Amino acid sequence: MNVSAIIEIIVAVMVLAGTVLSLLSSLGFIRLPDIYTRSHAATKSVTLGILFILLGTFIYFWFMHGLISIRLLLGILFVFLTAPVAGHLVIRSAYRSGVKLSDTSVKDELRDDLKKMKQLEQYHSKEG
Amino acid sequence: MKFTDVILQTSTKILVFIILTFSIYVMFAGHHNPGGGFIGGLITASALILLYIAFDVKTVHEIIPVDFKIVGALGVLIALLTGIGSMVLGYPFLSQTFAYKTLPLFGKTELATAVIFDLGVYMAVVGTTMTIILSIGEDE
Protein backbone atom coordinates (compact mmCIF):
# COMPACT_ATOMS: atom_id res chain seq x y z
CA MET A 1 0.00 0.00 0.00
CA ASN A 2 1.53 3.32 -1.04
CA VAL A 3 1.25 6.64 0.73
CA SER A 4 -1.52 8.15 -1.39
CA ALA A 5 -3.83 5.18 -0.76
CA ILE A 6 -3.32 5.54 3.01
CA ILE A 7 -4.01 9.29 2.79
CA GLU A 8 -7.14 8.59 0.76
CA ILE A 9 -8.42 6.19 3.43
CA ILE A 10 -7.70 8.69 6.21
CA VAL A 11 -9.47 11.46 4.31
CA ALA A 12 -12.46 9.22 3.57
CA VAL A 13 -12.78 8.23 7.24
CA MET A 14 -12.55 11.86 8.37
CA VAL A 15 -15.18 13.12 5.91
CA LEU A 16 -17.45 10.20 6.80
CA ALA A 17 -17.02 10.92 10.52
CA GLY A 18 -17.89 14.55 9.88
CA THR A 19 -21.06 13.74 7.96
CA VAL A 20 -22.15 11.15 10.55
CA LEU A 21 -21.65 13.69 13.34
CA SER A 22 -23.70 16.29 11.43
CA LEU A 23 -26.44 13.69 10.85
CA LEU A 24 -26.46 12.77 14.56
CA SER A 25 -26.74 16.41 15.49
CA SER A 26 -29.73 16.94 13.18
CA LEU A 27 -31.36 13.83 14.68
CA GLY A 28 -30.79 15.32 18.13
CA PHE A 29 -32.32 18.57 16.90
CA ILE A 30 -35.50 16.70 15.98
CA ARG A 31 -35.76 14.42 18.99
CA LEU A 32 -34.76 16.54 21.99
CA PRO A 33 -37.59 18.19 23.99
CA ASP A 34 -36.80 21.92 24.46
CA ILE A 35 -34.66 24.68 22.95
CA TYR A 36 -31.84 24.35 25.48
CA THR A 37 -31.11 20.67 24.81
CA ARG A 38 -31.68 21.23 21.10
CA SER A 39 -29.07 23.97 20.98
CA HIS A 40 -26.74 21.66 22.90
CA ALA A 41 -27.09 19.10 20.11
CA ALA A 42 -26.99 21.66 17.30
CA THR A 43 -23.86 23.55 18.30
CA LYS A 44 -21.57 20.87 19.68
CA SER A 45 -21.62 17.98 17.26
CA VAL A 46 -22.01 20.12 14.14
CA THR A 47 -18.90 22.07 15.15
CA LEU A 48 -16.91 18.85 15.50
CA GLY A 49 -18.39 17.52 12.25
CA ILE A 50 -17.30 20.65 10.37
CA LEU A 51 -13.83 20.30 11.92
CA PHE A 52 -13.56 16.75 10.57
CA ILE A 53 -14.80 17.65 7.08
CA LEU A 54 -12.57 20.71 6.72
CA LEU A 55 -9.52 18.90 8.12
CA GLY A 56 -10.13 16.01 5.71
CA THR A 57 -10.34 18.46 2.81
CA PHE A 58 -7.15 20.19 4.00
CA ILE A 59 -5.23 16.90 4.20
CA TYR A 60 -6.53 15.82 0.78
CA PHE A 61 -5.39 19.00 -0.98
CA TRP A 62 -2.08 18.97 0.91
CA PHE A 63 -1.00 15.44 -0.02
CA MET A 64 -2.72 15.01 -3.37
CA HIS A 65 -2.16 18.45 -4.92
CA GLY A 66 0.61 19.92 -2.75
CA LEU A 67 -1.64 22.84 -1.85
CA ILE A 68 -1.59 24.16 1.73
CA SER A 69 -4.81 26.12 2.08
CA ILE A 70 -4.59 28.56 4.97
CA ARG A 71 -8.23 29.49 4.34
CA LEU A 72 -9.39 26.01 5.45
CA LEU A 73 -7.39 26.24 8.72
CA LEU A 74 -8.73 29.75 9.26
CA GLY A 75 -12.23 28.40 8.60
CA ILE A 76 -11.79 25.74 11.28
CA LEU A 77 -10.57 28.36 13.77
CA PHE A 78 -13.43 30.67 12.81
CA VAL A 79 -16.14 28.02 13.21
CA PHE A 80 -14.67 26.95 16.53
CA LEU A 81 -14.77 30.53 17.78
CA THR A 82 -18.19 31.51 16.44
CA ALA A 83 -20.47 28.47 16.76
CA PRO A 84 -20.44 28.29 20.60
CA VAL A 85 -20.93 32.06 20.85
CA ALA A 86 -23.90 31.86 18.47
CA GLY A 87 -25.39 29.03 20.54
CA HIS A 88 -24.82 31.03 23.71
CA LEU A 89 -26.58 34.08 22.26
CA VAL A 90 -29.59 32.05 21.07
CA ILE A 91 -29.95 30.38 24.47
CA ARG A 92 -29.48 33.62 26.36
CA SER A 93 -32.12 35.48 24.40
CA ALA A 94 -34.46 32.49 24.70
CA TYR A 95 -34.06 32.42 28.50
CA ARG A 96 -34.42 36.18 28.85
CA SER A 97 -37.63 36.18 26.80
CA GLY A 98 -39.10 33.52 29.06
CA VAL A 99 -38.94 30.26 27.12
CA LYS A 100 -39.81 27.41 29.49
CA LEU A 101 -37.53 24.46 30.19
CA SER A 102 -38.91 21.03 29.35
CA ASP A 103 -40.97 19.24 32.04
CA THR A 104 -38.33 16.57 32.55
CA SER A 105 -35.65 19.00 33.79
CA VAL A 106 -35.17 19.12 37.56
CA LYS A 107 -33.05 22.15 38.33
CA ASP A 108 -32.92 25.80 37.19
CA GLU A 109 -30.04 27.46 38.99
CA LEU A 110 -30.00 30.57 36.80
CA ARG A 111 -33.56 31.48 37.87
CA ASP A 112 -32.55 31.47 41.55
CA ASP A 113 -29.44 33.53 40.79
CA LEU A 114 -31.40 36.09 38.78
CA LYS A 115 -33.96 36.36 41.62
CA LYS A 116 -31.17 36.90 44.14
CA MET A 117 -29.61 39.56 41.93
CA LYS A 118 -32.90 41.40 41.59
CA GLN A 119 -33.39 41.40 45.38
CA LEU A 120 -29.86 42.71 45.85
CA GLU A 121 -30.51 45.51 43.36
CA GLN A 122 -33.70 46.53 45.15
CA TYR A 123 -31.89 46.49 48.48
CA HIS A 124 -29.12 48.74 47.16
CA SER A 125 -31.54 51.17 45.53
CA LYS A 126 -33.37 51.54 48.89
CA GLU A 127 -30.10 52.10 50.74
CA GLY A 128 -28.56 54.68 48.45
CA MET B 1 -32.47 47.51 29.04
CA LYS B 2 -28.91 47.92 27.86
CA PHE B 3 -27.52 44.84 26.19
CA THR B 4 -24.03 43.91 27.35
CA ASP B 5 -22.68 40.42 26.91
CA VAL B 6 -19.09 39.79 27.99
CA ILE B 7 -18.79 36.59 25.94
CA LEU B 8 -19.98 38.28 22.73
CA GLN B 9 -17.78 41.34 23.26
CA THR B 10 -14.64 39.33 24.00
CA SER B 11 -15.07 37.01 21.03
CA THR B 12 -15.86 40.01 18.80
CA LYS B 13 -12.51 41.58 19.71
CA ILE B 14 -10.73 38.52 18.26
CA LEU B 15 -13.09 37.82 15.36
CA VAL B 16 -13.02 41.33 13.92
CA PHE B 17 -9.29 41.03 13.25
CA ILE B 18 -9.74 37.71 11.43
CA ILE B 19 -12.61 39.07 9.32
CA LEU B 20 -10.79 42.31 8.43
CA THR B 21 -7.62 40.41 7.47
CA PHE B 22 -9.67 38.05 5.30
CA SER B 23 -11.46 40.96 3.62
CA ILE B 24 -8.17 42.61 2.66
CA TYR B 25 -6.86 39.26 1.39
CA VAL B 26 -10.01 38.76 -0.72
CA MET B 27 -9.70 42.28 -2.13
CA PHE B 28 -6.10 41.80 -3.30
CA ALA B 29 -6.67 38.21 -4.48
CA GLY B 30 -9.38 39.40 -6.87
CA HIS B 31 -7.04 39.70 -9.84
CA HIS B 32 -6.25 35.99 -10.23
CA ASN B 33 -8.53 34.18 -7.74
CA PRO B 34 -12.19 34.49 -6.71
CA GLY B 35 -12.71 37.73 -4.84
CA GLY B 36 -12.47 41.40 -5.62
CA GLY B 37 -13.45 44.81 -4.38
CA PHE B 38 -17.18 44.17 -4.04
CA ILE B 39 -17.01 41.06 -1.85
CA GLY B 40 -14.06 42.45 0.13
CA GLY B 41 -16.06 45.57 0.89
CA LEU B 42 -19.03 43.49 2.02
CA ILE B 43 -16.82 41.42 4.35
CA THR B 44 -15.34 44.59 5.86
CA ALA B 45 -18.83 46.00 6.33
CA SER B 46 -19.92 42.78 8.09
CA ALA B 47 -16.96 43.06 10.49
CA LEU B 48 -17.95 46.64 11.31
CA ILE B 49 -21.59 45.60 11.79
CA LEU B 50 -20.43 42.89 14.22
CA LEU B 51 -18.66 45.63 16.20
CA TYR B 52 -21.85 47.72 16.19
CA ILE B 53 -23.88 44.73 17.45
CA ALA B 54 -21.46 43.78 20.24
CA PHE B 55 -20.84 47.34 21.44
CA ASP B 56 -23.15 50.30 21.16
CA VAL B 57 -23.09 52.90 18.39
CA LYS B 58 -21.53 55.63 20.55
CA THR B 59 -18.52 53.49 21.54
CA VAL B 60 -17.80 52.39 17.99
CA HIS B 61 -18.06 55.99 16.76
CA GLU B 62 -15.35 56.89 19.26
CA ILE B 63 -13.10 54.03 18.08
CA ILE B 64 -13.70 54.55 14.34
CA PRO B 65 -14.43 58.27 13.84
CA VAL B 66 -15.19 57.87 10.13
CA ASP B 67 -18.13 59.34 8.24
CA PHE B 68 -19.06 56.48 5.91
CA LYS B 69 -20.80 58.81 3.42
CA ILE B 70 -17.41 60.43 2.76
CA VAL B 71 -15.79 56.97 2.38
CA GLY B 72 -18.33 56.02 -0.28
CA ALA B 73 -17.89 59.33 -2.13
CA LEU B 74 -14.07 58.97 -2.02
CA GLY B 75 -14.37 55.46 -3.46
CA VAL B 76 -16.44 56.64 -6.41
CA LEU B 77 -13.97 59.52 -6.93
CA ILE B 78 -10.97 57.12 -7.00
CA ALA B 79 -12.72 54.80 -9.47
CA LEU B 80 -13.55 57.78 -11.68
CA LEU B 81 -10.00 59.19 -11.50
CA THR B 82 -8.47 55.89 -12.69
CA GLY B 83 -10.68 56.14 -15.76
CA ILE B 84 -9.78 59.79 -16.38
CA GLY B 85 -6.07 59.06 -15.78
CA SER B 86 -5.95 56.78 -18.82
CA MET B 87 -7.67 59.50 -20.89
CA VAL B 88 -4.99 62.01 -19.83
CA LEU B 89 -2.28 59.66 -21.12
CA GLY B 90 -4.01 59.39 -24.48
CA TYR B 91 -5.80 56.05 -24.16
CA PRO B 92 -9.59 55.39 -24.12
CA PHE B 93 -11.58 55.86 -20.90
CA LEU B 94 -10.93 53.10 -18.26
CA SER B 95 -7.98 51.50 -20.13
CA GLN B 96 -5.79 49.46 -17.82
CA THR B 97 -2.22 48.23 -17.83
CA PHE B 98 0.11 46.18 -15.65
CA ALA B 99 3.85 45.79 -15.08
CA TYR B 100 6.16 43.47 -13.14
CA LYS B 101 8.27 45.33 -10.59
CA THR B 102 10.68 44.06 -7.95
CA LEU B 103 9.62 45.46 -4.59
CA PRO B 104 11.92 45.31 -1.51
CA LEU B 105 9.68 43.12 0.67
CA PHE B 106 7.46 41.20 -1.76
CA GLY B 107 9.97 40.35 -4.51
CA LYS B 108 8.63 40.22 -8.05
CA THR B 109 5.12 41.63 -7.94
CA GLU B 110 2.52 42.29 -10.58
CA LEU B 111 1.32 45.88 -10.26
CA ALA B 112 -1.94 46.48 -12.13
CA THR B 113 -3.90 49.70 -12.36
CA ALA B 114 -7.08 47.64 -12.05
CA VAL B 115 -6.28 47.26 -8.33
CA ILE B 116 -6.74 51.01 -7.85
CA PHE B 117 -10.15 50.79 -9.51
CA ASP B 118 -10.91 47.83 -7.21
CA LEU B 119 -9.91 49.95 -4.21
CA GLY B 120 -12.47 52.52 -5.32
CA VAL B 121 -15.16 49.83 -5.60
CA TYR B 122 -14.16 48.53 -2.15
CA MET B 123 -14.49 51.93 -0.51
CA ALA B 124 -17.78 52.66 -2.31
CA VAL B 125 -19.27 49.34 -1.14
CA VAL B 126 -18.14 49.83 2.48
CA GLY B 127 -19.47 53.39 2.52
CA THR B 128 -22.84 52.52 0.97
CA THR B 129 -23.47 49.43 3.15
CA MET B 130 -22.52 51.14 6.39
CA THR B 131 -24.55 54.25 5.55
CA ILE B 132 -27.65 52.15 4.85
CA ILE B 133 -27.28 50.02 7.98
CA LEU B 134 -26.51 52.93 10.30
CA SER B 135 -29.30 55.13 8.98
CA ILE B 136 -31.77 52.27 9.49
CA GLY B 137 -30.37 51.41 12.92
CA GLU B 138 -30.31 54.89 14.39
CA ASP B 139 -33.99 55.65 13.78
CA GLU B 140 -36.04 55.39 16.95
For testing contact with chain B, the best of A85, A95, A97 (most B CBs within 10 A): A85
Helix/strand/coil for B110: strand
Residue A48 lies in a domain: yes
Residue A33 lies in a domain: yes
Task: Please answer yes or no on whether A74 and B7 come within 8 Å at the CB atom.
Answer: no
- Where does residue A57 rank: exposed (0-12), middle (13-18), buried (19+ CB within 10 A)? middle
Nearest CA to A42 out of A54, A55, A56, A28 is that of: A28
pLDDT at B1: 43
Contacts of B22 in chain A (CB under 8 A): 74
User: Residue B33 gets which letter from DSSP?
Assistant: S
Residue A45 lies in a domain: yes
Contacts of A74 in chain B (CB under 8 A): 18, 22
Q: Based on the structure, what is the number of domains in chain A? A: 1
User: Residue B98 gets which letter from DSSP?
Assistant: E
Query: pTM (2 decimals)?
Result: 0.82
User: What value, to the nearest 5°, has the Cα angle with vertex A55 and ends A54 and A61?
Assistant: 90
> In this structure, are residues B66 and B75 in contact, taking their beta carbons and an 8 Å threshold?
no
Residue A36 lies in a domain: yes
Residue A119 lies in a domain: no
A83: nearest CA in chain B? B11
Residue ranges of alpha helices (H) inside B1-140 are: 6-29, 37-54, 57-63, 68-88, 114-137
pLDDT in tens, A101-124: 888 878 788 888 888 888 888 888
pLDDT in tens, B33-52: 888 889 999 999 999 999 99
Nearest CA-CA distance, residue B56 and chain A, Å: 17
Task: Please answer yes or no on whether B5 and A77 come within 8 Å at the CB atom.
Answer: no
Residue A64 lies in a domain: yes
Residue A53 lies in a domain: yes
User: What value, to the nearest 5°, has the Cα angle with vertex B37 and ends B23 and B137?
Assistant: 70
B54: nearest CA in chain A? A89
Residue A20 lies in a domain: yes
What range defines the domain where residue A95 resides?
Answer: 3-101
pLDDT in tens, B1-42: 456 788 999 999 999 999 999 999 999 888 888 888 899 999
pLDDT at A128: 60
Q: What type of residue is B57? A: V
How large is the ipTM? 0.76
User: Using CB atoms and an 8 Å cut-off, which of residues 21-60 of chain B contact chain A?
Assistant: 22
Nearest CA-CA distance, residue B8 and chain A, Å: 7
Beta bridge partners of B108: B102
